């Protein structure tokens, strides 16, 4: 899904973050999972990106939105 062509226009783009417990090197850590969702003119929703980060921060969200 990451290599598929995208619509040329997404009037609405949503960026949100959820937290999950994940196992990393045998230890359980809380990770921020970012989801970028676009809605095209017809109202169809597309997942534009799904990224993980060690924590939630304004810099992380900005980097993802620029990808």
Output the furthest CA–CA distance in the chain (Å, rounded).
45
> Which pLDDT value is given to residue 50?
87
> Which pLDDT value is given to residue 3?
81
**Per the confidence metrics, is the pTM higher than 0.85?**
no
> Which pLDDT value is given to residue 67?
47
Chain segment 2-42, per-residue pLDDT in tens:
788 887 789 999 998 899 998 989 999 998 888 899 999 99
Question: Residue 48: which residues within 8 A CB-CB, separation 6 or more?
Answer: 6, 10, 13, 36, 37, 38
Listed by start position, the domains of the chain span 1-56
């Amino acid at each position: 899904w990451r290599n598929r062509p995208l619509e040329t226009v997404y009037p609405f783009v949503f960026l949100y973050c959820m937290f999950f417990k994940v196992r990393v090197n045998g230890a359980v850590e809380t990770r921020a999972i970012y989801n970028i969702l676009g809605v095209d003119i017809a109202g169809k929703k597309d997942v534009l990106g799904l990224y993980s980060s060690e924590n939630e921060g304004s810099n992380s969200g900005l980097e993802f939105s620029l990808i």
